Amino acid sequence: MIQRMKSKYAIGIDVGGTHLCSAVVDLLGRELCSVPVTTPMDSKSPVTEILSCFAGNIAATVRAFGQPVDKIAMAFPGPFEYSRGISLIRGVDKFESLYGLNVAESVRALLPEGMAEAEFRFLNDAASFALAESFCGAGRMFPSIMAITLGTGFGSGFVRDGHLDTDPDRVPLRGEVWCLPFEGTIADNGFSTRWIIGRYRELTGRSVPGAREVAEASVADSAAKQVFTEYGSRLGVFLRPILAHSGAQALVIGGSIARSSALFLEPLKANLGDIPVRISSLFDQAAMIGAASLFNE
């Protein structure tokens, strides 16, 4: 009788500015195997409150799963010393109280009895998205991909043969494109929500709170349609040389703006040539799965 291999579990945590979301990931089945647990959190809080939220969220996830899990991976925004688990965030009005702190050691000390030896790993949130889409998402059929997240910021990651690709001969430093020059500024200003809001204001004189409102207006508003057409075209112009240089065989797009991809996908593709474009199949689950997949190595 052939005995099935026991699943390998890890907790993946998506660390956001207003909440944490975590779940247990089955690394062999390549899927979430527990209901995600969301914990409200104010990233501007004192260090003790933030650490308490981390530990409470992890403990709640383990309780919901019903069995011990001693591998914990956190998708964390930067700047962060990911190899050592030390936060370097300051000057950006979030997580400033964690500056210089070893997050792994600090959280481990607050975990329930039996988790004192829990192993922590950390990864940039955009890189987590890229790993997840390569691991079990929209990019799983391609040996190498570039993945981007479009929203309040412009995140990116490159994956080759199942591992993050940070080779400086192929990709920008740390796989980050947000800081590259574009149209007299940096790409983050050109492809985040700020650009969509600003361009819509230029064309109409009207202010809206976010990209979603511009997308909703596009049903009857030609200016809103124009904003997304320009957005896709410019994004294709920016990405084409990066994709060519990296050797990525597909582009995977996620983030909140990707939910309106029907409005900008065609002009994007028109400027990319033959490179396949895929929209995220994981969205909110991606950061949790991608971070946890670090334990699959």
Is residue 139 over pLDDT 70? yes
One-letter amino acid of 250: A
- Torsions phi, psi of 135, nearest 5? -70, -45
Please report where in the chains the tokens 């009895």 appear, as a residue.
113
Three-state secondary-structure class, residue 173: helix
Domains of the chain: 9-126+287-296 (3.30.420.40), 138-281 (3.30.420.40)
Q: Please give the model's pTM, rounded to 2 decimal places.
A: 0.88
Q: What is the pLDDT of residue 1?
A: 32
Are 97 and 54 spatial neighbours (Cβ–Cβ below 8 Å)? Answer: no
Q: What is the CA radius of gyration of the chain?
A: 20
The span from the CA of 63 to the CA of 66, in Å, is: 5
Where do runs of H (alpha helix) occur along the chain?
Answer: 47-65, 103-108, 125-136, 187-191, 193-204, 211-217, 222-246, 265-270, 286-292
Are 73 and 122 spatial neighbours (Cβ–Cβ below 8 Å)? Answer: yes
The span from the CA of 106 to the CA of 62, in Å, is: 18
Are 11 and 62 spatial neighbours (Cβ–Cβ below 8 Å)? Answer: yes
The string of pLDDT tens digits covering residues 258-296 is: 999 999 999 999 999 899 999 999 998 999 999 999 998
